[in-house]
Amino acid sequence: MAIEEARQARHDIRHHFVRLSTLAEQGDIEKIKEYLSAATGKISDYNLHFCENQAVDSVFGYYSTIAERENIPFHALVSLPADLSIDEINLCLVFSNLLENAIQASVKTEPARRKINVEVYPHHNHLLLIHVENTFDGKIQQKNNIFQSSKHSGNGIGIESVRHITDKNGGACDFTYKDGIFSAKIMLRI
């Protein structure tokens, strides 16, 4: 629903600009002021904004757009402040790997089952809890407790990258799958 609202808002904004351009060409400043006043009251305050941290927000914005394009319902509750003590690059790598994997797995499932749910929130001021859940088609391969890539032969790189970052951080990660749902639970120290 949220993505549909954003699409509608972009559509409406284009029409507002056309109307304002016409009024500007006519040089009618009073009509422009009236129009802006009326339009401002109707503009939805919804946008593709997920959290206060700009780097993480842009990662979520990027992957939510891809999910929309692939017709995957994408629900994310991300509670992050603007400034974090954790390395932002590593944090963005964690999110990018998890969300890319979630999208790639969901695309392979039948459209009616597709979904990605994400929850990110601080816990006791020193931990960050991340939970990403997505549908998959039931074919997951592991070898020596390492997930195998669905794109090429050999180990999957994304989850191993998340494990590496989590280990370096002193955090923990757990990946489970059952009944067509893949679940990634990550705990990072912040």
Whole-structure pTM over 0.85, yes or no?
no
Find the angle CA(12)-CA(111)-CA(4) to the nearest 5 degrees.
Answer: 15
pLDDT in tens, the chain (190 residues): 444 555 566 667 777 778 888 888 899 888 888 887 777 665 544 456 888 888 898 899 889 989 999 999 999 999 988 888 889 999 999 999 999 999 999 999 999 999 999 999 999 889 999 999 999 886 666 555 555 445 544 456 788 899 999 999 999 999 988 999 999 999 999 8
The backbone region for 131, taken as left when phi is positive above 0, alpha when psi lies in -120 to 50, beta otherwise, is beta
